[in-house]
Amino acid sequence: MNMEDWKKIDNTYVAKTYSRYPVVLEKGKGSIAYDDQGRKYIDLGTGIGVNVFGYGDEQWKKAVTDQLDEITHTSNLYYSEPCAALAEMLCKKTGMKKVFFSNSGAEANECAIKAARKYAAMKKGSDTCNIITLKNSFHGRTLTMLAATGQDMFHQLYTPLTPGFLYAEPEDLDSVRRLLASAKVAGIMIECVQGEGGVNVMSREFVQGLQEIADHDDLVLIVDEVQTGNGRTGSLYSYMQYGIHPDVVTTAKGLGGGLPIGATMLSEKLKDIFAPGDNGSTFGGNPVVAAGACSILSRLDDAFLEEVRKKGEWLKSVLEHAEGVSCYRGLGLMAGIEPAHASADEVVRKCLERGVLVLTAHHNTVRILPALNIPEEELKEAVGILLEVLKEKEEDGE
Ligand SMILES: *Cc1c(COP(=O)(O)O)cnc(C)c1O
């Protein structure tokens, strides 16, 4: 079977929710992926910010396979060591007090909304149920997370969505205050750096302003760290760079190192919000996944994060004023580039042809989310190719 055969089978039998690039990725090691022809790609996309230590990381693989030999799935009716160990590690590293485990970012966010609504219902009555999110945000694909996502294009044709979401302008505290005056609000949910929305880095003033508003009105402040978390932005979680103390932090993508996981962390204020039966997940906290996540999290220490920040600074220094870049936005190893001469899509396709995997985000942005441990030479080589592609004017082009 060759790529054409697999393409045909996939196109016939897999629901058409994705438009795939014409490549079958077959193997990977570190930051290098290989297709079915043995062609090599330097991966600056890491499965959308998931493979934080690249493909086939040895320590992660050992943690996962050792656990496979012990026990793979038990349900949440019983205790299991890796789940407890991961929850403890998350709380000790963040100061949060309790964790609910699920399997994806959307589910982690759903749990956060349940926590906020229950808190507000018990303190202020169940009509205090609205959640403010930001325009351009992305919070996931379930019907409630589509409602939370402040981008109209995700809403059409799926109405009625879950009610109770209001959208504020990013970087505009007055627009938040206007919404607060217009409805009974339970909480505010933000990404400190909007990922899918175009790698939009929120300012310290704005995020701290939201914290003040939340403190003043006893609102639940939720930070969605599904994409920004687990070292991506140069701190363990991005909120740590903003001097805030969220009530709920959600994460997913990078935490599992390549296996599905979601985590909803609850602060002191919310730690006792849930009682048995309030939420659940068959696979949540799965021992194999949790063992892998412990291996990832245990290595995201200060010295490692310092390296991430250095690589992030280097990225910014070479891309920010480069020819063909009309705008650079980023924090740590989460970067967005608006190309000056071509569409983001075209840049991604040309990079792919030249052996570099990059992503897009909204507003014509090329997004890069490299493995946090990508060797410098590989990062330099890949960024060199990206820079060449960005330089090309359309009329040069293939
Ligand atoms: C990817 C993402 C989600 C959704 O995560 P899934 O695991 O696909 O459900 C939610 N929020 C943010 C910020 C994301 O980047």
195 lines ligand 1 (CB under 6 A): yes
Instruction: Report helix angle 173-182 to 204-217, nearest 10.
Output: 20
CA of 92 to the centre of ligand 1 (A): 24
- Kindly report the pTM of this predicted structure: 0.97
**Residue 110: CB within 6 Å of ligand 1?**
no
Ligand 1 in reach of 367 Cβ (< 6 A):
no
pLDDT band of residue 275 (cuts 50, 70, 90) is very high
Average pLDDT (50-77) is 97
Q: What are residue 192's phi and psi, to 5 degrees? A: -65, -30
CA 254 vs CA 65, 151, 296, 317, 371: distances in Å:
19, 24, 8, 25, 10
pLDDT for the residue 359 = 98
User: What is the per-residue pLDDT across 299-328, written as a single tens digit (0 to 9) for each?
Assistant: 999 999 999 999 999 999 999 999 999 999
Query: Is 140 a pocket residue for ligand 1 (Cβ < 6 Å)?
Result: yes
Q: Is the CB of 104 under 6 A from ligand 1?
A: yes
Which two tokens mark 269?
Answer: 């204020």
Measured by CA distance, the residue closest to atom 11 of ligand 1 is 139
pLDDT tens string 71-94 = 999 999 999 999 999 999 999 999
Residue 232, ligand 1, Cβ within 6 A: no
Please tell me whether residue 197 adopts helix, strand or coil conformation.
coil
Query: Residue 260: is it exposed, middle or buried by C-beta count within 10 angstroms (0-12/13-18/19+)?
Result: middle
End-to-end CA distance of the chain: 29
Q: What is the pLDDT at residue 166? A: 98
Q: Does the C-beta of 344 come closer than 6 Å to ligand 1?
A: no
Output the CA 69–ligand 1 centroid distance in Å: 30
Q: Is 364 in the pocket of ligand 1 (CB under 6 A)?
A: no
Q: How far is the CA of 141 from the centre of ligand 1 (A)?
A: 8
Measured in angstroms, how far is the CA atom of residue 105 from the centroid of ligand 1? Answer: 4
Phi-psi region at 354: left, alpha or beta (left = phi > 0; alpha = psi -120 to 50) = alpha
Q: 262 C-alpha to center of ligand 1: Å?
A: 9
Is the shortest distance between the CB of 265 and ligand 1 below 6 Å?
no
Pocket flag, ligand 1, residue 392 (CB < 6 Å): no
Q: Is the shortest distance between the CB of 226 and ligand 1 below 6 Å?
A: yes
Give the confidence band of 1 by pLDDT, cuts at 50, 70, 90: confident
Q: Tell me, what's the pLDDT at 152?
A: 86
Mean pLDDT along residues 107-128 = 98
Ligand 1 atom with the smallest distance to the CA of 137 is: 13
For residues 199 and 327, give the distance between their C-alpha atoms in angstroms, rounded to a whole number.
11
Please state, in angstroms and rounded to a whole number, the distance separating the CA atoms of residues 67 and 64. 5
169-183 per-position pLDDT tens digit:
999 999 999 999 999
Q: Is the pLDDT of residue 192 over 90?
A: yes
Atom of ligand 1 nearest to the CA of 227: 15
Between the CA of 386 and the centroid of ligand 1 the distance, in Å, is 26
Atom index in ligand 1 nearest the CA of residue 260 equals 7
Instruction: Give the model's pLDDT for residue 155.
Output: 85
Do residues 44 and 312 touch, judged by C-beta distance below 8 A?
no
Dihedral over alpha carbons 65, 66, 69, 74 (to 10 degrees):
-90
- pLDDT confidence band for 381 (50 / 70 / 90): very high
pLDDT band at 398 (very low <50, low <70, confident <90, very high): very low
Q: Which atom of ligand 1 is nearest to the CA of 253?
A: 7
Tell me how far apart the alpha carbons of residues 261 and 41 are, in angstroms, rounded to a whole number.
26
Residue 106 beta carbon below 6 angstroms from any ligand 1 atom: yes
